[in-house]
Amino acid sequence: MTDLLTSLHDALTRARHHGADHADALIMRSQNRSAMIRQGKAEGIRHAEGLSLSLRVFHQGRVASVSGNDLTTHALDQLAERACAMAQAVPPSPGDGLAEHPLIPLPQEAITKLDLFDSTPTPEIDALLATAKEMEGTALAHKGITNSSGAAASASTHDIALATSAGFAGQYQRSGHSRSISVVAGTGPHMQRDYAFHNAVHQADLHNPTHLGDEAARHALARLNPIRPKTGFYPVLFAPRVSSSLLAHFAAAINGAAIVQEASFLKDKRGAALFHKGITLTDDPTLPRLAGSRPFDGEGSATLPLNLVENGQLNHWLLDSRCARKLGFPTSNGRAVRSGGSVRPGLSTFYLHPGDHSPSALQSDIKEGVLLTELMGNAINMLTGDYSRGGSGFMIRNGEIAEPVSGITIAGNLLEMFARLIPANDLDLMAGYHAPTIRIDHMSLAGD
């Protein structure tokens, strides 16, 4: 990967030559293979390779970004010249600039400990097809499973390199593997669909195809003959595959960009107790073998674990350098992420710490409630925190899981929901879930 750093340094040198005060550049090189099976026949085979360089330049308080996929000397010179010409023409952008404290040098052990690259050979298309076929065959063998929406398997590798004119230079590799399947149970108007999936950095950590096929079939069959409960207020359990969505809403509300724009219902809540005591929410980019982990952020800053919420209290916004300056903080907290030339605050591995009780213990005292296993739509007002989503799942009656439900809408206000949130003890980050089962009492449910 040294060729990538050589190209980055070349791009930065040429940006300075064309008048940039400072600059940073990112290269991403990727390979992806994927295969899909539907009803035993190959329906989608893809083998793609990509290369992109994004260059960001700063000139007298102005910033401009350009991108390309040609790393030749002449192409890099043209890219840098165009970026600098743009930076001289755009309006000033106060707050933009390089990170104040980049990692110089980047400790190599930080990359090694993360274990983000699977060195075993990437599966060929035939192996991916065989995996998808095994998943689908397993699911279709279940009595009552009548159709398949497809099964897919994929594998990818990414080379990532970032350098800045302040002296930071870092590079690392990551891999990714995924398996997914969706099947249909029943016939006619009574059909129900469900799915199973798993993503992992290392292929060895993936759930096996038989397990996923069985899981998808069981979920679909369990949803047959649903009812619609009466409209009212109920205690609601969010299963792990949907509970992470609550964390996503919270993360959006504490994103520094939203706080700068005063576009968040939490804009005045830093330092406030939003959750029960004992609730902790952590963003941790240092956890080995997880897709969200990284050795440095999108500006070359250190990435350290950060308790955004501790003992129920909101302590931090998500900050890149620009948002930190805008909000009066001396530096970012290493939460910058990049998409091409765009830099913004974002997450790594953000998770809710588990509670003390099992899911069954959390539901044991519920006389009548709902377990949500799927959510649809997204009517979230980020200015007020008002929450409304469609859903399906199962009734809880006298502490036990009962008949399936569908066609319901749950509603509330996120501030009130956070204050009542109770986590179970079933967090499983390796399964791809960033929150355990969550209980929230007294939620509005629209049904019959």
Q: Which of 101, 50, 56 is nearest to 83 (CA)?
A: 56
Please tell me the predicted confidence (pLDDT) of residue 348: 97
Residue spans of beta strands (DSSP E) within 39-120? 41-59, 62-68
Residue 3 has a pLDDT of: 87
* Helices and strands per DSSP (H, E), number in the chain: 10, 18
Determine how many CB atoms are found less than 10 A away from the CB of residue 404.
19
pLDDT of 2 reads: 63
**Do residues 275 and 309 lie in contact, with contact meaning Cβ atoms separated by under 8 Å?**
yes
Residue 233, judged by CB atoms within 10 A of its CB (0-12, 13-18, 19+), counts as exposed
Segment-wise mean pLDDT, segments of 10 residues, the chain, 448 residues: 88 97 97 97 94 96 96 96 96 93 87 96 96 98 97 98 96 97 94 97 97 98 96 98 97 98 98 97 97 96 96 98 96 93 95 97 98 94 97 97 97 98 97 96 95
% of the chain at pLDDT higher than 70 = 100
Treating both helix axes as pointing N-terminal to C-terminal, what angle do 209-222 and 125-140 enclose, rounded to 10 degrees?
A: 40
- Amino acid identity, position 75: A
pLDDT at 341: 80
Helix H or strand E segment including 65: strand 62-68
**Three-state DSSP class for residue 400:** strand
Q: Tell me which residue of 222, 192, 196, 220 sits closest to 134, measured CA to CA.
A: 196
The predicted structure's pLDDT at residue 205: 97
- List Cα–Cα distances, 143 to 122, 139, 184, in angstroms: 35, 9, 11
What does the angle CA 284 – CA 57 – CA 87 come to, to the nearest 5 degrees? 135
CB contact at 8 A, 418 and 352: no
- pLDDT at res. 75: 97
CA distances from 119 to 1, 45, 290, 298, 400 (A): 15, 23, 15, 24, 45
Name the one residue in this structure whose structure tokens are 């001396």: 330
**Residue pointed to by tokens 């793609």:** 48
What is the model's pLDDT at position 1? Answer: 52
Cβ–Cβ under 8 Å, residues 143 and 187? no
Site of tokens 């990714």: 176
Residues 345, 335 contacting (CB under 8 angstroms):
yes
pLDDT tens for 137-187 read 999 999 999 999 999 999 999 999 999 999 999 999 999 999 999 999 999
